[in-house]
Structure 1
Amino acid sequence: MPESWSAKRERQYQHIKESQLDKGVSEDEAEEIAARTVNKTRAQEGESDDASRTSLEDKSPSERGGERSHSGAQGRTKEQLYEDARRQDVEGRSTMTKDELEDAVEDR
């Protein structure tokens, strides 16, 4: 558990991870989905020092109810992919399409 997570957030993480594992998602992907969900909730509730604009302006995970999940029809939004590309320091990301951003982020 990261030091900045409260006991409540750790329980939330474990619940989401277990739910994903029950759906047949791999351990690594379940951990990633759970961590992203908890961190987004923390950002939206003002518990995080660093938060991306997409985390603050997007619907909360509970409101979204699985929309745009990793396995959903559309996947992540272009803005979410751009933020991942920025964190990975992908060159030329500002002119990339959503499909190009998906490819660039997955290749790393």
Structure 2
Amino acid sequence: MASVDLVRKVALGLPRTTEHLIHDRVKFRVGRIVYLALSRDEATLGFAFPREERAALVATEPERFFLPRASDMRYHWVCAHLGLLGDDELREIIVDAWRMVVPKRVYAQWQQGAP
């Protein structure tokens, strides 16, 4: 089962990521772009995700993934129940979300050094 500690460990291990407390919510961003956000109760995780693919993800596993609130639908964003994600799946989600917001060369450099 995924945890907030794992979210923090993976996210902060990625280049250019910083952690911020914004409106009582922990968020991870690169520059000014947020790519991960925990709910206030830390039970759900919002993450950057290709807009054109999010409906399919939610339809496939609605018990684990859901769309953000209406005011956030304009963003490339989807949400998940953190406790229903496996550790490996969470790592993949975090890296994919981060990849959407960093320059391609930063991702390529990280990938070359990644285990």
TM-score range, shorter chain: 0.3 to 0.5
TM-score, with length taken from structure 1: 0.32
Q: Which of structures 1 and 2 has the bigger CA Rg?
A: 1
Q: Which has the higher contact order (CA 8 A, sep 6+)?
A: 2
Q: Which structure carries more strand by proportion?
A: 2
- The alignment's TM-score, normalised by the length of structure 2, stands at 0.31
